[in-house]
Structure 1
Amino acid sequence: MTTTGAPPRTARSVGTAPRNRVGWTWILLSSLAIAVYAVSPYLTTPLHELAGDKVGLAAAYEGKPAWVHAVFYAHVGAGGIALVLAPVQFWAGLRDRFRVVHRAVGRLYLVAVLVAGVAALTLAPVNSAGMVGFFGFGTLAILWVGTGWRGYHAIRGGDVPSHQAWMIRNVALTYAAVTLRLWTGLLMGLQSPWISSGADADAAFANAYAAVPFLCFLPNLVVAEWLVRRRRLPSFRLVSPA
């Protein structure tokens, strides 16, 4: 696999078109919404109370050992920080006019990705989606940390186009926190005609959640690669051009 592409546009040209602003605004608002909805309960309420109220994945982790709780909270907290900061890094005005702030926020974002990604990889063997979750969420964690490292390595070497390409891919993986919940809701909705009781609802959620470990991030990566090529940034090809 090699990285190829036409001469890239400058960093200033990326993310300035009106349609890109609309997309950025959607990503910003949806990321903030999920950060508040999915993270804030764990910061304000004990895990056993959340488990009793069937909030999120609290019930799946409440009975686990203390070290699992610690890793779970590290993943939730750092993942929430990464989700909030990710859209900020694509704010063209901040990136172009306040480079020092952009770099500082970028470092904090990458540290959050590292912590949340390592925590996610640690949790993969005890996830609530079984072997599909182990491979799906485990792959997501490895790609999340790996693309973040490649983005950091590229900018340290002064390769701005490659940095932009890797960070687009990385943020697409961060955004899996949003798409996971969108896909779960959609799959639950598709099963709604057959849901008639609480037990049926639990089974429908289990069915939906079993599909999302890969579904939450693979389409995101396809879109990310399309954006990379559309912006003429270095992209992946399976074979070298002749």
Structure 2
Amino acid sequence: MTRLIEPVRTAPAVARSGGVRSRVGWTFVLLTAVAIVAFSAVPYFSASLAELAEREVGLAPTYAQAHPLVQGALYAHIAGGAVALLAGPLQFWRGLRARLPRLHRWTGRVYLVGVGIGGVAGLVIAPSSPAGYVGLFGFGALGVLWLITGWRAYRAIRRGDVPSHRAWMIRNYALTYAAVTLRLWLPVLLLAPLALGLPWEFDAAFADAYAAVPFLSWLPNLVVAEWLIRRRGLPSYRLPA
């Protein structure tokens, strides 16, 4: 069977010295990850789903009456995703890798455990997404790819293939970062009709915006990830000619 995607093995990656843009980008990713965990994840552990649903906090109204198994999966998804969001940037901190490789490895294990828990739990709650079938397939695909790329990153480092490990970790964190980009896209899509001079009503605009983010939250992230991978000379993918 013809392979649709073929790996491109480039020359061994040469570590680039950290420039200002690189540090600014890393800091932005870290701060936005911390902000999303603080303002979107922590509230779920401050009160019951029923209480949060009364205040219309996040997804609480959708899952407040769900089966206990689904509610448990929601909490597992939030906790695993929060751990992965916070631990992920540390994996790309050159100073940590160089000076404290043991801590880097343990942080990576914690990160991948968070991905595993969050990914499996995400597949459990995807059928209950308020975005309907779009949410099921969009967030379901995200969960599957999140687990696959995490597994590939783990397998690569176990066999000593550091360049491939780095490439798969970049792809994986791009998917983890969907938790942030989803919340960046929502206000943009919500206000787009106003910018275009179209009739606007909040509930309808929010429903339209939320119908787009199940795919929009992570597909552009993967494109950017692949660009970064090629820029760093790591094993990348291309469509065959």
TM-score (norm 1): 0.93
Q: Does 1:205 align with 2:206?
A: yes
How does 1:1-242 map onto structure 2 within 5 Å?
Answer: 1-10=5-14, 13-14=15-16, 16-192=18-194, 194-195=199-200, 200-239=201-240
Whether contact under 8 Å (1:14, 1:92) holds in the other structure is no
Q: Which runs of 4+ in 1 moved over 3 A?
A: 191-195
Deviation at 1:185, TM superposition (A): 1.1
Q: Percent identity?
A: 54
Call closer, same or farther: CA 1:22–1:235 in 2, change over 3 Å. same
Amino acid at match of 2:38: V
Deviation at 1:14, TM superposition (A): 4.9
Call closer, same or farther: CA 1:15–1:218 in 2, change over 3 Å. farther
Amino acid at match of 2:87: L
Whether contact under 8 Å (1:168, 1:224) holds in the other structure is yes
Give secondary structure in 2 for the equivalent of 1:56. coil
Give secondary structure in 2 for the equivalent of 1:7. coil
TM-score (norm 2): 0.94
Amino acid at match of 2:147: V
Aligned residues: 234
C-alpha separation in 1, matches of 2:70 and 2:104: 33
C-alpha separation in 2, matches of 1:212 and 1:36: 21
C-alpha separation in 2, matches of 1:144 and 1:3: 19
Provide the alpha-carbon RMSD of the alignment: 1.3
Amino acid at match of 1:146: I
Give CA deviations for 1:170-214 in whole Å, capped at 9, x if unaligned: 00000000000000111112234644xxxx322221111000000
Deviation at 1:90, TM superposition (A): 0.6
